[in-house]
Amino acid sequence: MDNRPSRHRPVRIRSSRCEPPAQRRLLTREIGGAFVRVGLLTEGGYPYVDGDARLWCDRLVQGLGQHEFDVYAFSHSERQEAEGWVPLPPQVSRVRTAPLWTADDDGVVYGRRTRRRFAEAYGELAAALCTAPEAAAARSVSVPVDPEADRFGNALYALAELARDEGGLIGALRSETAVRALESASRAPGAVRAARTARVPDLLDVAAHIERALRPLSLDWYEDDGLGAVDLCHATTGGAAALPGLLAGHFAGVPLLVTEYGVRLRAYYLGVPGEASSAVRTLRAAFHRGLAAEVYRRAACITPGNTHARRWQERCGADRAKLRTVYPGLETSRFAEVGESPDGADPYTLVWVGRIEPAKDLVSLLHAFARIRTHEPTARLRIVGAASGAEDTAYLGHCRALAAQLFPDEAEGMHAVGDNPVSFEDIGGPAVPDPAEAYGAGAVVVLSSVVEGFPISLVEAMLCGRATVSTDVGAVVEVIGGTGLVVPPRNPRALAEACLALLRDPERRERLGAAARARALELFTVEQNVAAFHGIYLEVVSHTPVRRMPVDDSGEPLPFGVPAEAHLPGRWTGPHHPTGRPRWAEEPEHATAPARTTGSHQSHHEPVPAAEGAR
């Protein structure tokens, strides 16, 4: 049998290295400046035109023109790649992309020693998944820090080192060896009950899921000319986007900053397919819990977008000392005209704005509006939004049918044309050209969700100076802060009573709308978001030792080659003495008695020149 090491293949997954169009601006470090090179890690978002979290990433990059950004992006589909990128500013120096939706077999053939090395590392990963506490499979149970977390992390980095040394893991992760390792771990003593029930189809499903999740390990992004050259990695979400940041920290010591406006582990729990077996759900959840715990453990700083996300992160093992809440920032200029002239709204119109899906619970909203119509016959409800996907489209059709059943077309006389008080509209049409017009059309904005992260539509309504009625889910109470009415979810009666209270009291609506606009302008602007991340960038860099000193073409150290805030290891930046005395005032370690002085009062030791104290 061939026992030689396999050939190294430098590129494993199809990855592109692109320079954005337009002329690049040469960034220079100035005296007292704070230029930081950031590796921005995204998944299915920036810089693609159609992507999650695209807007806030674009605003962040646009607002931090004094820094340089290298964008490392994962795409979710071929369609997303075909739609292209948003216009990139000069501070984006490089963009590298890779697909998560597909991966060709790398063609790497392992020798006997390498196969044994892979089997050991993957076996450790499988054992960490199968022996995780079974109770933690519940969605709301916290994950304490235990040896299994280290076991998961050690196995992950062992696989990453193998991928770097041998040229990829795609073929190995799809091999029979991986499935057999999962089978052995699920049958081993100490395996959780659900894992012991796994059948071969279940093991194949879990192995395929792990292969898709670990595709970033086979990328060539972690060399000195890639993520190893940045000052810090900023992952815009957890999961796959944070995985390159973990590897950059492991291979090159690059610090990791993780931002989660919606906790990725929570999103996974909400999206688990109901038809999956108990073993598949348990092992998949164990993998994502282990990855989330490792990301939180290794991150230098974690920035949740609200207290709701912060609580989730803490329950998943994040250190409270690392957490810094940074609210999303919205562009306020497009809502200024509506917010500064609140008198143009119809006093008997309710408005709902958002993406139409079952989690928004429009059914409860329609039943609540039926109660409102019994007390206010002139009231109207405008539902502004669109559905995406087959399930959401079917839900929209159900809501239209329910509205037609609850509110048959009404007419003032036998010869007049009837008019339904509930309308379904899309943003961009003649009646609603933009979101500001949608919010400005009503006196009260309603949010009826049963599941919500950070309610962007609610913040937009606040910027427009509108009074709001919302359900108590997610970060709603934190966002509202006493400037609107909050009711329990799935309670049409409470929702109707709150809406009626505001429809009947114009002065109260005006007070709440003004207070809501003032709160939104204080907390949820692009300026505060950009300023917060600018400070966090400098703080993370200041606590990270400089790994290499930049040099010019002649090999000489580059003046101001690192940020002024960078941490330079040395005796002046070491820990302070418990007595508070500086190091230069301490006695030498070999001294056993104080030095005697002569009659001329000169010290036995030579005096320290003044210049030494400034070094």
Domain 333-410+418-524 sits in which CATH superfamily? Answer: Glycogen Phosphorylase B; (3.40.50.2000)
Q: Where in the chain is the domain with CATH 3.40.50.2000?
A: 13-329+525-589, 333-410+418-524
The edge-to-edge listing of strands for the beta sheet with 346-353 is 422-425, 380-384, 346-353, 442-447, 467-471, 485-487
Mean pLDDT by 10 residues, the chain (615 residues): 39 53 42 72 90 84 93 91 91 93 79 93 95 51 55 95 91 93 94 93 95 94 92 92 96 94 80 82 92 94 92 90 94 83 79 94 97 94 91 94 86 59 86 85 94 91 95 94 95 97 95 95 94 94 74 69 60 50 55 45 43 39
DSSP assignment letter at 32? T
DSSP assignment letter at 234? E
- The CATH class given to the 13-329+525-589 domain equals alpha beta
Chain Cα centroid distance, residue 431: 34
Tell me phi and psi for residue 350, to 5 degrees: -100, 145
Q: How far is CA 435 from CA 127, 455, 556, 614, in A?
A: 50, 14, 55, 58
Cα separation, 254 vs 244, whole angstroms = 11
pLDDT confidence of residue 254? 94
pLDDT confidence of residue 95? 95
Cα separation, 396 vs 389, whole angstroms = 11
Q: Name the residue among 102, 85, 93 with its Cα closest to residue 46.
A: 85
Q: Name the residue among 546, 545, 611 with its Cα closest to residue 584.
A: 611
pLDDT confidence of residue 543? 83
Taking each helix axis from N to C end, the angle separating 456-463 and 506-523, rounded to the nearest 10 degrees, works out to 110
Asked if 9 and 204 touch (Cβ cutoff 8 Å), the reply is no
pLDDT confidence of residue 300? 95
pLDDT confidence of residue 601? 44
Q: Name the residue among 261, 258, 232 with its Cα closest to residue 56.
A: 261
Tell me phi and psi for residue 219, to 5 degrees: -85, 160
Provide the whole-model pTM. 0.81
| Measured CA angle at 122 (ends 119, 125), to 5 deg | 150
